[in-house]
Amino acid sequence: MEPLFTPEQLAEIHAYHQPYYIRAAVEPWVRLALSALLLGVLVRPVYRGATAAAAALERRFGAGLRKAPVSRAFFSAMDRLWGESGWGTAILFALFIDVATQLLYAPANVYFYYVLEHRYGMSNDTPAGFAWTWFKGGVVGAIALTALVVGLYGLARRVRRWWLVLGVPVALLMLVASALDPYRARLYFDQSPLPEGPLRARITALMRKADITFSDVMVEKTSVTSKRIQAYFAGQGPTRTIVLNDVILQEFAEDEVLAAVAHEAGHVNEPRWPGRIASSLAVMALLLLIDGLLRLSARRGWWGIQRPGDIRTLPLVSLVVFLLISFAAPVSGVLSREREREADRYGLKLTGDPGAFRRMLVKAARVNKMDPEPPRWLVLKGMSHPPMGERIAAVDTP
């Protein structure tokens, strides 16, 4: 069997991944140190700054905006949501911390997502395109944060069982959100239907054999920014779409594309409800825990807080969420890797073509420059897929 990589390729792959491994080891500690600094020192001065800035904005624009027809409705809606004035301070407090964190991480982000990716030939992105994507992400993040501040803290200030009022709709939304997947992807990349031809015919036949219904096969044009191959199924039942990116169509032979589609088909029949119900319940439990934190900080008077629903608890809440996610990642990683192994077994059986399946995995590893044997601790920290070396070995020794 020909080796997956030549020694030179392997050396390059290791050089490419080394900085990412260092980051994975260091980043959690940086996060914890930043949280400690925020909680121990910065909450009070940042809150004072936000209060002063909100007051200055109110003096400069408040009177005018409270009279103008459209903004008047907005202001009174916000006052009602918040239960009083003072939402400006809360939003500014959250945004100050968000923007400062973004700026702090900016050099590392440029290095990891632009410099390294270009040095190892993984990205086609331009500086302007990269900056634009980043800016868009920042704006979307800031809007989401504002919505969270107003929604969560606004409710927590006024409603005793706010976690129930917020948790039930969020949990229900999470149950149906995956049906919208096919449409969400189209926000980022152009998609067009795969033209009629032998590949489309073979995919259709394969899906008929697997007894999986789908609405269309789409080609996603990701090559404008990335040189990675990608294939996935989005949506389910009547909205299920098979998405292949343009890179995989360039790089893979037909039977290799088919093998990739067969692997994805293996994910279709996974039982989804246990996971969905578990994550909905987890969200409820998390909100209940946050409720406890809000009450505790008010009782103890931390950072000068006098009542539950004070925005000054936000850094504490994000620290707790970060810790919970970090501790849950190894567990969900184990489950995810087991699903991937199962999808490989399923795909292999569906195509009945181990040769093509192996070539598909080898090419995926080569094109995406995957480390065939990443450090064990990184896998255990919560990697979603088994290492490529392991997946290929499983095909070789069924």
Q: Near Zn ion by CB under 5 A, which window of 192-200, 269-277, 326-334, 342-350?
A: 342-350
Q: Which is nearer to Zn ion, 97 or 343 (CB)?
A: 343
Rounded to whole angstroms, the Cα distance separating 243 from 352 reads: 22
Residue 6: φ, ψ to 5°:
-75, 160
> Considering CB under 5 A, how many residues would be counted as binding Zn ion?
2
Six-digit token pair at 395?
């095909």
Q: Near Zn ion by CB under 5 A, which window of 303-311, 322-330, 338-346, 369-377?
A: 338-346
* Positions in 246-285 near Zn ion (CB under 5 A): none
Q: Which is nearer to Zn ion, 46 or 343 (CB)?
A: 343
Q: Near Zn ion by CB under 5 A, which window of 105-113, 189-197, 239-247, 335-343?
A: 335-343
Find the shortest distance in angstroms from Cβ 17 to Zn ion. Answer: 20
Find the shortest distance in angstroms from Cβ 384 to Zn ion. Answer: 8
Q: Which is nearer to Zn ion, 246 or 340 (CB)?
A: 340
Q: Which is nearer to Zn ion, 31 or 349 (CB)?
A: 349
Q: Which is nearer to Zn ion, 308 or 347 (CB)?
A: 347
* Positions in 89-108 near Zn ion (CB under 5 A): none
Q: What letter represents residue 25's amino acid?
A: A
Q: Which is nearer to Zn ion, 91 or 370 (CB)?
A: 370
Find the shortest distance in angstroms from Cβ 1 to Zn ion. Answer: 23
Q: Near Zn ion by CB under 5 A, which window of 75-83, 253-261, 322-330, 339-347?
A: 339-347
Find the shortest distance in angstroms from Cβ 232 to Zn ion. Answer: 8
**Nearest Cα to 111, choosing from 192, 193, 20?**
20
Find the shortest distance in angstroms from Cβ 227 to Zn ion. Answer: 20
Find the shortest distance in angstroms from Cβ 264 to Zn ion. Answer: 6
Six-digit token pair at 384?
């979603």
Q: Which is nearer to Zn ion, 166 or 343 (CB)?
A: 343
Q: Which is nearer to Zn ion, 125 or 256 (CB)?
A: 256
| Residue 90: half-sphere exposure toward Cβ, Cα within 13 Å | 26
* Positions in 216-245 near Zn ion (CB under 5 A): none
Q: Which is nearer to Zn ion, 190 or 270 (CB)?
A: 270
Q: Is the distance from CB of 263 to CB of 206 less than 8 angstroms? A: no
Find the shortest distance in angstroms from Cβ 4 to Zn ion. Answer: 19
Rounded to whole angstroms, the Cα distance separating 291 from 161 reads: 9
Find the shortest distance in angstroms from Cβ 186 to Zn ion. Answer: 21
Q: Which is nearer to Zn ion, 129 or 386 (CB)?
A: 386
Find the shortest distance in angstroms from Cβ 245 to Zn ion. Answer: 15
Q: Does residue 343 interact with Zn ion by CB under 5 A?
A: yes
Other residues' Cβ atoms within 10 Å of the Cβ of residue 377: 10
Q: Is the distance from CB of 378 to CB of 24 less than 8 angstroms? A: yes
Rounded to whole angstroms, the Cα distance separating 394 from 92 reads: 53
Q: Near Zn ion by CB under 5 A, which window of 89-97, 224-232, 332-340, 356-364?
A: 332-340
Find the shortest distance in angstroms from Cβ 267 to Zn ion. Answer: 6
Q: Near Zn ion by CB under 5 A, which window of 193-201, 231-239, 333-341, 390-398?
A: 333-341
Q: Near Zn ion by CB under 5 A, which window of 61-69, 119-127, 314-322, 337-345?
A: 337-345
Q: Is the distance from CB of 96 to CB of 52 less than 8 angstroms? A: no
Site residues (vs Zn ion, CB under 5 A): 340, 343
